[in-house]
A = this chain, B = another copy of it.
Amino acid sequence: MQTQGNNMDPWYGLYAARTAGLSASEVRALFAVASRPEVVSLAGGMPFVSAIPKDLLTGAVERTVRERGATALQYGSGQGMPALREQILEVMALEGIHAGVDDIVVTTGSQHALELVAKLFLDPGDVVLAEGPSYVTAITVFKSFQAEVVHSAMDDQGLQPEALRETITRVRAAGKKIKFLYTIPSFHNPMGVTLPWERRMEILEIARQNDILVLEDNPYGLLYFDQAPPHAMRSIEADGVIYLGTFSKTLAPGFRVGWAVAPHAIREKLILANEAAVLSPSSFSQTVISEYLGSADWKGQIDTFRGVYRERRDAMLSALADQLPTFSWTVPTGGFYVWLRLPDHLDSKAMLPRAVKELVAYTPGTAFYADGSGRNAMRLSFCYPTPDFIREGIRRLAIVINGELALLNEFQQTGPVSTLPAESEGVLPPFAG
């Protein structure tokens, strides 16, 4: 997809400056190919909605039409339906968050909350701090408002507090204005890692000391495999955190219902921005979800999802151990993703066409950085394919990677090797787990 405009576009001279920052994913065209059924896709982050029994939703949907049509079909409030907001309080209480029904703004998926927060805060040249790597479409949103995304280093326990301190100092020394820290503390996208409680407190303390707002994105927190992750950062800090939640992973993304919890003044602005953007979030979707939460065993359904994803995570980890035993990867205890590190001289983006030819797809690490990093890593999603397909996908992936390594090795023995750093050879230290 051409994104910069050109002589074929008579309106090219009319676009806003920010539109130049709105770019299509580099791998978009390839993903269109990768959606063919014969390709095992470890690339997307689609939840396995087939795990939802049809009967679980049928009642909620029927009641929405038969009994609540007058409100479900109508425009609603820009803040969202009060009854649903009450129920969202119950959902968030599971992660230690205590808030009021007025603190919540319902959005068109939590993605739209990201867009609205970006619109409210970001001037051209502003800096958003984010984990490195970070969620690809958050980066897209921040860049679309002409902000600079500056990554701060992670390890197998998430964002490193010391590195964050240094990043803040460095950015401010360069005269740049930091607007907020964007973070996914639990079952990180794309790394799969989780920030321990002590680090959550330490990072909140750093944010307080530096007057930095924290944008806590938590789509996966309830999808843990063994034990719950630490409570949300919002559970101990109400004034300095905008918290984002969603029903996209615990129920289904097709409804496009998420929410933000924000300090009073910010929340009032979020409501105004929401009204300008969509008038009100879908009353129909909100009513169906409210009816579902009010009548179905939604906690049991989340347990079902946990079991499905745990089995798939296990399948992926054991396949990786079987097929790529000398490599390193993260070991998620919840969520959707494994982060696979490659030897430094492999380029996951350059390798992707070969992988798709071999009928397996993944997301190259570069997608998750605003600065071109991530070449020698990839995100592997275990959320959507069945365990058998995951095993087959990893088998195909190993063929591609080993083929690439053999090819490089051959060149290295017969041709110039100067571009390949010597220390990248052999087994890397394990990154996590």
Contacts and interface: CB of A to CB of B under 8 A. Distances in A.
Contact of A15 (B22, B58, B120): B120
Interface in A17-57: 17-19, 22-24, 46-47, 49-50, 52, 54, 57
A9 interface: yes
Report the copy number of this chain in the oligomer.
2
A277 interface: yes
A119 B423 CA distance: 47
Nearest to A123: B16
A1 B78 CA distance: 13
A95 to B, nearest CB: 23
Interface in A196-219: 211, 213
Q: What size tier do the contact residues of chain A reach?
A: 35 or more
Given A54-B65, A272-B24, A278-B115, A121 B15 contact: yes
Nearest to A60: B65
Contacts of A65: 54, 57-58, 61
B144 A278 contact: no
A96 interface: no
Interface of A: 1-3, 5-6, 8-12, 14-19, 22-24, 46-47, 49-50, 52, 54, 57-58, 61-62, 64-66, 69-76, 108-109, 111-112, 115, 119-123, 126, 137, 140-141, 144-145, 179-180, 211, 213, 239, 248, 252-256, 263-266, 268-269, 271-273, 275-285, 287-288
